[in-house]
Amino acid sequence: MGVHRAEGGVLDTCRADALLTGLVERYSPSGQETEAAEYLVAQMRDLGLCAAVDPAGNAVGEIGDGHQVIVLLGHIDTVPGAIRVRREGNLLHGRGVVDAKGSLAAFVCAAACAGMRPGKRIIVVGAVEEEAATSKGARHVLTCLSPSVAVIGEPSGWDRITVGYKGRLLVDYALRHEVGHTAGPGASAPEEAVGFWRQVLAWAARLNTGRERGFEQLTPSLRRICSGDDGFVEHVEMTLGLRLPLDSDSAGLQEELVEMAGDAELSFRGYEQAFRASRGSPLACAFVRAIGVQGQRAAFTVKTGTSDMNVVGPVWQCPIVAYGPGDSTLDHTPNEQLDLDEYHRAIEVLTAVLRDL
């Protein structure tokens, strides 16, 4: 079996598998992507793309020259936690194989298979720091690319197309006050922090009344909490994450949270607005056709997390979807694994899309 390249060439599936395996073997948590980026640049050059590491640290490769600019924006970083890279049957295990090096490797292979297309410039980006709140790589390409269409590399399954992501707001809570006796009437700093968290849960439940779908709800999570004292002053710090629906008013939410927090100090970071793309765009329709050729009916989905689509979608205002092989329920887990048959299917679909657009 082979993945067909333009003008009669073939990219053997063993070559595609080796590219992905090598990428996964280069452990690249956010902020430590250099080795993986340099590896990917070398691989893209071997496959006929013009490639380099850009000033942000992204691995960027391109092929073709034309008025239609097709950007395939994946991310090369992962969450922390090394997983032994190994192949068991048709499953490849390793940190980032699902989220989202499988998608990024599929982008590179598809661009090489599509080859030089009249009037088309295909650009593959392996962005840094997508898993961090900074999204450094995506924010850099906003300043230098203006695509006609864009595909974000995130796992959806080879026959599914993602058209929307919820937004995000991170909330840092800090409270300090004098230590009191544990038998006294006053609440400790940790107890006050827990009380605030319970208020947030109740507040979100009220806001979600009548909203049945998770994509429409405000969803809070407790990311971190720690406390201590020096014998005189006790302190507690806590980080909350809010997943935001499309109609969220960030400024209004922040005002309500500050009011609930009382004497505690709140700071806000990592804001991304929710974003939803059209299911009827020429790009989405090209994916539907390509998946249909593979004998499957395409399905559309939205996700309750965030991705670089939240960063670039509102600015680029072009047809955009997210696509990639893998089961997204395995994202960030100790059991990340990708079925290589699904990876090959995704390459075929992406290649067909690049030729069809």
CATH of the domain at 9: 3.40.630.10
Do 153 and 181 fall into the same domain?
Answer: no
Q: Which residues of the chain have pLDDT under 70?
A: 1-10, 180-185
pLDDT of residue 184: 52
Domain end residue (candidates: 234, 256, 272): 272
Query: What is the number of residues in the chain?
Result: 357
Are the C-beta atoms of 353 and 324 separated by less than 8 Å? no
Alpha-carbon gap, residue 74 to 222, rounded angstroms: 28
Q: Say how many CA atoms lie within 13 Å of 77 toward its Cβ.
A: 25
User: Are 77 and 132 members of one domain?
Assistant: yes
Domain boundary among 272, 299, 326: 272
Contacts within 8 Å (CB) and 24+ apart, 157-160: 157/325, 157/326, 157/327, 157/328, 157/342, 158/291, 158/294, 158/325, 158/342, 158/345, 158/346, 158/349, 159/291, 159/294, 159/296, 159/297, 159/298, 159/299, 159/345, 160/298, 160/299, 160/300, 160/301, 160/323
Asked if omega into 100 is within 30° of 0 (cis), the reply is yes
| Residue 228 belongs to domain with CATH number | 3.30.70.360
At residue 183, the pLDDT reads 47
| Same domain assignment for residues 148 and 65 | yes
Number of domains within the chain: 2
Determine the pLDDT at residue 5.
44
CB 251 within 8 A of CB 271: no
Same domain, 120 and 8: yes
Non-local CB neighbours of 240 within 8 Å, separated by 6+ positions: 170, 171, 173, 197, 200, 220, 221, 222, 223
Nearest alpha-carbon partner for 291 in 221, 353, 218: 353
Residues 256 and 296 in one domain: no
Q: Decide if 259 is catalytic.
A: no
* C-alpha to C-alpha distance for 15 and 44, rounded to whole angstroms: 12
User: Catalytic: 38?
Assistant: no
Residue 73 domain boundaries: 2-165+274-356
Q: Do residues 304 and 255 both lie within one domain?
A: no
Whether 152 and 191 map to the same domain: the answer is: no
* Catalytic residue of the set 77, 129, 192, 237: 77
In this structure, are 85 and 129 located in the same domain?
yes
Same domain, 22 and 138: yes
Same domain, 70 and 182: no
Cβ within 8 Å of residue 207, ≥6 positions away? 217, 218
**Last residue in a domain, options 222, 238, 272:** 272
Same domain, 148 and 295: yes
DSSP secondary structure letter of residue 333: S
**Catalytic hit among 130, 131, 192, 348:** 130
